[in-house]
A and B are shown apart, each in its own frame.
Chain A
Amino acid sequence: MAEITYICKRTVVSTKPTQPGKYHSFSVLDHLMEKNHIRIVYYCKSWGEKEAGEITVSLRESISEMLTHFPKVTGRLIRNEKGNWMIKCNDAGVRMVEARAKGSVEDWLKIVDREKELKLVYWEDMIHKPYFWSTFYVQAWADKTLGQKMVSPPFFHPLPPRRPINKTSNHKPYADLINHYKFSIENSIPLLDANHTHTTITLSFSDHMVQACMDMVQPTSAPNKPNRPSSPFEALAGLLWICISKVKGLRNGLVNMSLCLDQRKVLGLDKGFFGNCMVCNKVHSNGLEEHNLSQATKVIGEALEKMDNEGIMDLIEWLKHNDSYSHPLMNNCDLICASLETAEPYSVDFVGGFEPIRVSYYVEPTIGIGQVLIFRAPSYDGPLGRVVMVTLPKDEIVKLCEDELILHLSPRILMGVARNHA
């Protein structure tokens, strides 16, 4: 029904020229994300009787202003002497593609699926040419569109050094985190073009659904052990871990899963820090025979706790020392469960008072076991509301939708499996 007509491709530059001759190198965490890319779709309501062209003009103007604050985004990737990527801030600008889709946003959202949605995000494989298709701070862009000052201006600086603390005499580096990365790097499966067998669904858990899930997590036994209440992320991650394990046919035990979280707070960085802060950790499922939600969630909670400042600092130092590894793909052996909660997609406001109707994230390439992305839901779903995007092979997704735990919580299916129709 909805065709997408490609209108044009152009370059948008910042409003002020950048200082020539500046370079920005990536941190070790940035380098790890080299093979990954993320595609995001924001659906916004258009307010008032504006022509489609007018909105793009004002968006272009605001992105120009915003780019003045992000000279690294308008630069280009080049390789430095060590063979790693770095950015040359040459003020070249950001490529923008404009297209028009027929039909209204609401109609589109009813029939959209992974394939169709990905068509909305323009992608070109830049294999040989060192050009930079940037993903940038959409929040800052939105703030600028309304003529406001940016709420969190960007910070460009290297990862912070270790916090000076009382050095205890026996300081054992947190081995698990490092081992996980080592294992991933050594066992990375070569990239296969397996994109087309996976599909994605989006489930929306409103406030009370998440509350119900968290209640299910609270263990009924062992009253004398004080339990830390689990966070929505832990609860949902546990839920999906179990469901996906069931779907994959594992009667006892759970699939290998890694958690991936943004560690800005832990590292003491401001929200405006420009760079990758996602750190992954494996969840140990040894000893978990049954599919018990509260136990799974407990294990997840433990893994999250272990990712503290010390542990991450150790990891960063280890990565710096072992710089010679070619940067691998981080999500190819396990089920990745990533929390994008700090991204706050629905607080982005382009049109003055309206949050986006929907936001979709796609982290690519998707191979391996699968992927779960959890992020905050629009405000009408309540503060605990979460949106979960699950990427699995097609047949498993269908089984997942029929899983009893999920049906018990009955989340809203925002985007389902592709229906085969014209």
Chain B
Amino acid sequence: MAAVVALGSGLGRKKLTLFVTATVRIPNPGNHAVLWRSCSQYKQVTSNEDLLLSQFISPFTGCIYGRHLTGLCGKKQKEITKAIKRAQIMGFMPVTYKDPVYLKDPKVCNIRYRE
């Protein structure tokens, strides 16, 4: 967490807001979702985990969010993208929408939809 804040102060105001929203944590871990935020939190991506990968796609179109929305570093963004594509081809994750089971997850990406 301290590393995230230090990085945020180094990068300038725009990125700082991105990282500030990142430090929000879920109060009860009994909840259904995992909050992945900074890259160091993030160990290994396998294509079986729909829960983790569904957080990075749009619920309406199923398109993968870009780097400016997810806030991940280069390597991890690439790994996530590859894992999502692999899961979609292998038949573990839907392509054109987000699985309705995962719609209630807390927002990880920096995108705001009109209510």
- Do A and B pair up? The answer is no
Q: Which residues of A contact B (CB under 8 A)?
A: none
